[in-house]
Amino acid sequence: MDREAARRHLDALWARGRAFLGTETAIMGGAMTWVSERHLVAALSDAGGFGVIACGAMKPDLLAAEIRATRALTGRPFGVNLIVCIAERVGHVVLAGGMPAQKAIARLKAGGARVVSFAPALGIAKRLVRLGADAIVIEGAEAGGHIGPVSTTVLAQEILPHVRDVPVFVAGGIGRGDAILAYLEMGAAGVQLGTRFVCAHESIAHPKFKQAFIRAAARDAMPSVQVDPEFPVIPVRALQNKATRVFEDTQRAVIARFRRGELDQTAAQLAIEHFWAGALRRAVIEGDVETGSLMAGQSVGMVEREQATAAIIEELVGQALDAIGARAAVEA
């Protein structure tokens, strides 16, 4: 199979995702707080992918300004992962971090947005479709940041054969084009990658943050440890550093104070949760890779150098085309 035939095959596989996003490729950028801002988002969209602004750290007025600034950098489609986007006429809104209310979905759709929601299980995916979600993202435990307990490959097998009404994008641990191809052939409409773009030239992440990614192996990106089930910790996958070890010690110290009656349970829980306050910004923006939070997916082991965003997407597409061509050669 020649290169053009391989490209036609790939285009057919992710045609639904491309049509939904309005892009040349069905590669979404993960919304990474402090990283996925105007420069990286615009670069992703200009390169044929679909950038998504991460606005968890923004108030509405700042988000509105960020949307406008992103539009000034690109005329291509991009998305935002928050509900305050109706006034700015954002075409795609990505809802993550819980089950959205049906009224919220309806309001966004009435405002002209396509709604993308995250589903950690088949039952939730089906419910989101019934609630009106226009597309689903399934993200496995290999992803960076807040994670669920199930791997990407298992979620894909569980959900892709049974959710056909809307496009489904697969995320978590994806770092190569041949892996993208595999999920497309399983029925995915496209994919979402975050970690792979942290070290893009257009990413504003601090050079020390980027170097931590480049040096890391997949096994360095581990979920946070919960010391006592009575004090739950939402698992977050990040590169292990000094702060990781201190967090475990902090949990033990706070729980000991609770056992001694010095703190009630609410105060103890808040003390544990407060440990990471501001830690991601310290790492991404200030370059504090010792006491900051180095949120990263296990695909960090495939981040080998800084590259232009366009070069990363070109590399991913090229790997998918190579895989199609190699298989065709074997079958010939």
- Classified by CATH at the fold level, domain 3-204+303-331 comes out as TIM Barrel (3.20.20)
Q: Are strands 92-95 and 145-146 parallel, antiparallel or unpaired?
A: unpaired
Q: What is the pLDDT of residue 123?
A: 95
Percent of the chain with pLDDT over 70: 97
Average pLDDT over residues 161-176: 97
Question: In which region does residue 182 sit, left (phi positive, over 0), alpha (psi from -120 to 50) or beta (all else)?
Answer: alpha
85-131 per-position pLDDT tens digit: 655 677 888 887 778 888 888 988 888 889 999 999 999 999 999 99
Q: What is the DSSP secondary-structure string of 108-127?
A: HHHTT-EEEEE-SSHHHHHH
Choose the most confident range, by mean pLDDT, from 194-203, 222-231, 263-272, 274-283.
194-203
Q: What is the pLDDT of residue 100?
A: 82
Average pLDDT over residues 181-198: 98
Does the pLDDT value for residue 83 go beyond 60?
A: no
Q: C-alpha 218: how far from its chain's center?
A: 16
| Interatomic CA distance for residues 1 and 317, integer angstroms | 16
Name the β-bridge partners of 190.
169
pLDDT-derived band of residue 199, with 50, 70 and 90 as boundaries?
Answer: very high
Contact 46, 35 (CB under 8 A): no
- Cβ within 8 Å of residue 145, ≥6 positions away: 32, 33, 194, 236, 237, 238, 295, 297
Average pLDDT over residues 304-331: 94
Does the pLDDT value for residue 213 go beyond 70?
A: yes
Domain boundaries, the chain: 3-204+303-331, 217-295
List, in sequence order, the alpha helices (H) in 165-305.
177-185, 207-215, 242-259, 265-274, 279-284
Q: What is the pLDDT of residue 331?
A: 79
| SS3 category, 302 | helix
Q: What is the pLDDT of residue 87?
A: 59
Among 72, 131, 18, 42, smallest CA distance to 309 is for 42
Percent of the chain with pLDDT over 90: 80
| Interatomic CA distance for residues 89 and 229, integer angstroms | 43
Query: Within a 13 Å sphere around the CA of 101, how many CA atoms are in the beta-carbon half?
Result: 4
pLDDT-derived band of residue 163, with 50, 70 and 90 as boundaries?
Answer: very high
Does the pLDDT value for residue 248 go beyond 90?
A: yes
- Cβ within 8 Å of residue 87, ≥6 positions away: 64
16-71 per-position pLDDT tens digit: 999 999 999 999 999 999 999 999 999 999 999 999 999 876 788 888 889 999 99
- Cβ within 8 Å of residue 256, ≥6 positions away: none
Q: Is 161 exposed, middle or buried (0-12, 13-18, 19+ CB in 10 A)?
A: exposed
Contact 298, 221 (CB under 8 A): yes
| Interatomic CA distance for residues 314 and 267, integer angstroms | 50
